[in-house]
Amino acid sequence: MATQARRILGIDPGLQRTGWGVIECEGTKLRHINHGIVVSAAKNALPNRLREIHQGLTAVILEHSPHTIAIEETFVNVNGQSTLKLGQARGVCMLAAAEADVPIAEYSPNKVKKSVVGSGHAAKEQIGLMVSVLLPGCKVQQEDAADALAIAITHAHHFRMPTGAS
């Protein structure tokens, strides 16, 4: 019985730049669909920046119709304000997914690094390199988009649809 391709949207939340990457997974085969970043203007008030992220991701979800969305969990910074702002950006990412009624999976930064590179303490450059290896032909210039693709790849590796599911 042939498996059906599943479209996964990976999201790397950030207040300045939210990375996103779309892949298709069919069995163990991965295929790059698209990637990019949603940028919020630093000069704008926080509520407006959050709206920019929400609108940008909503457009990505509408364009690519993912079956599931994988999002990176918030890590705790030394700077509490930075952690709080990252959590708010992550919240609007989850809201965009929930509004589209798309299931959400969450992964820690270490799990993503370990899944894609083999080490939970991998450098950003290693993630970008492995993304290009795992998704042949994919050329990613922005670290945030590479991280988002890595999150989608992690979900593809850790989540398998039941046989016959659509």
101 catalytic? Reply is no
147 catalytic? Reply is no
Classify residue 92 as exposed, middle or buried by CB count within 10 Å of its CB (0-12, 13-18, 19+).
buried
Catalytic residue among 63, 72, 106, 147: 72
Task: Note the maximum CA span of the chain.
Answer: 54
Instruction: State how far the Cα of 126 lies from the Cα of 94, in Å rounded to an integer.
Output: 27
* Beta pairing, strands 104-107 & 68-72: parallel
Q: Please report where in the chains the tokens 């290896």 appear, as a residue.
A: 133
Catalytic residue among 24, 52, 144, 147: 144
Catalytic residue among 12, 24, 52, 147: 12
12 catalytic? Reply is yes
Which residues does 120 contact at the CB level (< 8 Å), separation at least 6?
110, 111, 113, 114
So which residues are the catalytic ones?
12, 72, 144
